[in-house]
A = this chain, B = another copy of it.
Amino acid sequence: MNTRPLSLTDDSPVERGDAARNRKRLLDAATQLVDEHGVDAVTMEAVATKAGVGKGTVFRRFGSRAGLMLALLDHSERELQHAFLFGPPPLGPGADPIERLVAFGRARIALVDVQGELLRAAESAGVRFSAPAHRVSLIHVQTLLREAGTVGDLPVLAQALLAPLDATLVLHQWRELGYPLERLADAWADLAQRMTRPAHR
């Protein structure tokens, strides 16, 4: 398993010093705007004002609003990856694999709450099953299923367990069907437990 957090886009150049600091400053400003006013409030101009830089700096860094959205999504994916690969239990190493699996599902569903629109935008742009970030989640789920002693076709079962966490589906259940995210997280935890339960026939 490759344990270095992987980018959604896999095209990030190595950044050092000022460039990396500026990028982080702009992404932090954009994240604050999302938290305070929602995704629609994130314009290039609003990010520039919030970060105290010129609008041209934001355009030079991200190219377009779509580029900024993808960078924001990437940022939150890396944070989630970092948390499940290296962070404290129950999401990170050290907890029981089933507890880790349940914590992973909850964290992914919570990510939809915070960054739903970004995810939906990135998914409809075709960044979906084959994105490096998706592969990392897949390997993680497969590893936890194995550690929990699950017997079966683990690569396909891991994909089946990830499928209900698809942001487009979660957003549909939440916004259109009105199911609270907590309810979706509980049902997913139930599913994960059924998946890892030994057979008694």
Q: Which residues of A pack against B, CB within 8 Å?
A: 128-130, 152-153, 155-157, 159-160, 163-164, 166, 168-169, 172-173, 176, 179, 183-184, 186-188, 190-191, 194-195, 197-200
Contacts and interface: CB of A to CB of B under 8 A. Distances in A.
A187 B160 contact: yes
A48 B181 CA distance: 50
B159 A169 contact: yes
A157 to B, nearest CB: 6
A156 to B, nearest CB: 4
Nearest to A163: B163
Given A163-B169, A166-B163, A197-B199, A187 B156 contact: yes
Contact of A190 (B153, B184, B197): B153
